[in-house]
Amino acid sequence: MDLTNILNKCLNLCKIENCQNNYKINGLCYKHINKRTKKKCKIEECNTYAIIKNLCYKHGGRVKRKKCKIEECNTYAISKKVCYKHGGRIKRKKCEKEDCNKDVISKNLCYEHGEKKKCEKEDCNKDVKSKKFCYEHGEKNERKKCKIEDCNTYAIIKNLCYKHGGIIERKKCKIEDCNTYAIIKNVCYKHGGIIKKKKCKMEDCNTNAVKNKLCYKHGGKRYNTKRNI
């Protein structure tokens, strides 16, 4: 035995040279098994693999399926030599409950009569969604509500809802008599708090640059929509 074959066996590698895949059967990896074991179509100048009778799919090597025994019906049979239209359906178990013709899902019962877990809250017959509780009594209602009496909205900050002052604090513009929110340097959009964008490098052009320091008008397009013909 060559040293390469011994090393390949020790490392579980394919015995084909320059192949570092792990072998599956007879010292060959998945790729080289298919190349060696699969026969090709017997038709000349056809390199596709054979399926039946040494023929590929194109040249007639197809798996034969029986058709429906009813006259003038070309659909394939499913059971008892009959297609789906003429009653050839796969049999499925029915629910064990009386007067129930629905298909079984688990434990010989259908979806309605199966063992569904109910909510652990008293006087609640709804199905469990998560953590042994239904949707109404689950994590949704673990959120704190507003501390103001007769208010059922959820609290945001300091146990207060949006209506009663539980608003996320945002700084306002430092200019007097201006109630708009600040963007940059404690100034709003009107008073100069604008995010700076580079301008087009062409003279006398104040539009914002898009690409290569050029605006859309002067060729700074983001995507090249033209196709090479």
Residues 2 and 53 in one domain: yes
Residue 226 pLDDT: 46
Residues contacting 170, CB < 8 A, separation 6+ = 181, 182
Q: Is residue 56 part of a domain?
A: yes
Domain-embedded: residue 220: no
Q: What is the CA radius of gyration of the chain?
A: 37
In a domain, 172, yes or no: no
Of 222 and 72, the one with more pLDDT: 72
Tell me which amino acid residue 198 is: K
State the pLDDT confidence band at 218, using cuts at 50, 70 and 90: confident
Whole-angstrom distance, CA of residue 103 vs CA of residue 93:
6
Reported confidence tier of residue 18, pLDDT bands at 50, 70, 90:
confident
- Spatial separation of the C-alpha atoms in residues 224 and 59, rounded to whole Å: 45
Summary mean pLDDT of the chain: 77
Confidence grade of residue 137 (pLDDT, cut at 50, 70, 90): confident
Which token pair is 164? 């009663």
Residue 126 has pLDDT above 70, yes or no: yes
* Residues 84 and 132 occupy one common structural domain: no
- For 199, phi then psi, to 5°, come to -95, 165
Is 182 a domain residue? no
Q: Is residue 127 one of the residues assigned to a domain?
A: yes
Q: Which residues pair with 94 in a beta bridge?
A: 103
Same domain, 56 and 22: yes
Same domain, 69 and 111: yes
69 & 101 share domain: yes
Task: Assess whether 110 and 144 both reside in one domain.
Answer: no
The amino acid occupying position 92 is R
Write down the pLDDT at residue 98.
86
Q: How far apart are CA 225 and CA 220, in angstroms?
A: 12
Please give the residue range of the domain that contains residue 8: 1-62
Q: How far is CA 188 from the centre of its chain?
A: 41
pLDDT-derived band at 206 (thresholds 50, 70, 90) equals confident
* Rounded-to-integer distance, Cα 204 and Cα 207, Å: 9
Mean pLDDT of 160-181: 83
pTM metric for this prediction = 0.25
pLDDT of residue 229: 36
Is residue 2 domain-shared with residue 44, that is, in the same domain? yes
Q: How many structural domains is the chain composed of?
A: 3
27 and 47 part of one domain: yes
Per-residue confidence (pLDDT) for residue 4, from 0 to 100 = 61
CA distance 68 to 219: 66
**How many residues are listed for the chain in this entry?**
229
Lowest mean pLDDT among 40-49, 120-129, 200-209: 120-129
Assess whether 137 and 153 both reside in one domain: yes
Phi, psi (rounded to 5 degrees) for 7:
-65, -40
Which helix (H) or strand (E) element contains residue 36? Answer: helix 30-37
Mean pLDDT along residues 99-110: 83
User: Does position 227 have pLDDT exceeding 50, yes or no?
Assistant: no
- pLDDT above 50: residue 228: no
How large is the average pLDDT for residues 68-85? 87
- Would residue 104 count as lying in a domain? yes
Domain assignment present for 28 = yes
Residue 178 lies in a domain: no
Q: How many whole angstroms separate alpha carbon 175 and alpha carbon 189? A: 12
Q: How far apart are CA 154 and CA 137, in angstroms?
A: 15
Residue 185 has pLDDT above 60, yes or no: yes
